[in-house]
Structure 1
Amino acid sequence: MKQYRYLYTSPLGTITLTASDKGLTSLSLPDYKYDIPVSDEEIESREPFEPVIAQLDRYFAGEAIAFDVPLDMLGTDFQCEVWQALQAIPPGETRCYGELAAALGRPKASRAVGAANGQNPIAIIVPCHRVIGKNGKLTGYAGGLNAKAWLLKHEQAMASEGFSLQPPTPVEPAI
C-alpha cells in the first residue's frame, strides 16, 4: 500500500502528515515522542493532503471548523473507541481521563483511556489535547505539554471570541 508524506508548517512548527489511499494515518507535532511509521513506497507529495491542509490553515487562522477529512487509523478496538470519544469533545472544552472512561461505560478504565489517548496517531483532528488530569492540570502529551497548552488556549480564545465551535464529525477509524 502506498503511503504519502507531507511536512506542513504551522504556528507550532513543522507537522508531519502521513496518509494512505484510504485517508490520513498520522498528524505528528514537532516534538512527537513516538516513531512515525515509514513505508517502503512512501511518496512525498502535497496533493493527497490538500483537504487537511486547507482545514488546518483555517483552524490555525482562528476559524471555527469541524474537521471532516477521511482517517485511516489503525488500533485495537478499545483504542478506536477512545479515539472516537475524543472527537466528541467540543473545541474549547476539556475532559479528564475518568470522565472519558465513564462516557465509554468503563468508569474504572481511566488509565487504559490515558494509554489509548497517548497512542493517538492523529493529533489536533482527533483532539487528545483536550484530555487533562482529574486535578485540572495538563498531563502527558505526545506532542509536548507546550503544544497541548497552546492548542487549548487557541481553541478557548476562538470560543471566547464568539465563534460557534462545533465538535468535529466523528470519523470511524479503520481497524
Structure 2
Amino acid sequence: MNTPLLGDVVPDFTQNSTEGPIHFHDWIGDSWCVLFSHPADFTPVCTTELGRVAKLKPEFDKRGVKVIGLSVDGLENHGKWGDDILETQGTAVNFPMLADVDHKVSDLYGMIHPKANAKLTVRSVFVIDNNKVLRASFTYPPSTGRNFDEILRLIDSLQLTDAYKVATPVDWRDG
C-alpha cells in the first residue's frame, strides 16, 4: 500500500470524473487542493459529507482550494447519487467526483485498507498545496464522518504559517 508522506510531491494521474477526464497536476494548477475519498455512493455518512463539502465550497474557493472527491463507484452511480444528495442535503454537488473503478488513484494514494475493506476506500483526506506537495493527511474509519470545518481550519493555519514565521496553537481559529 502506497501512501504519500508529508512533504512529498503527490502522485499525478489521469482519471475519469463527473466533469470529464482529470489530469490531476494540470487540474490543480497553482491552487491548493483537498482530495478526499469515501467508501461508497448512496451511503448515509458519505451523502452527508458530500452535501457538507458542497455547502462549504465557497469557503474553499476563498482560500484558493479546489476540492475533488473519489470513490470506486462508476460515473453513472455518481450522477444518480448527485440527484439523491440534492434531494436529501438540499445542495448540488459542485465539484468533480473521480470514478476510480480501476483503483488506480486509490492504490497510488493508499486509500484501500484491506483490514477495513479490501474493495472500498476508507475516508481519506489529502491537503495538497500549490506546489503539489502533501501538507496534511487524515484517515477515518468508514463508520465516522469527517469534520470539514477542521479541514478548513487546518488550511487556514498552513497558509498563515507559509506566509509568516508563526505557529498556531491548540484550537486556533483565523480572526
Taking structure 1 as the reference length, the TM-score comes to: 0.28
Taking structure 2 as the reference length, the TM-score comes to: 0.28
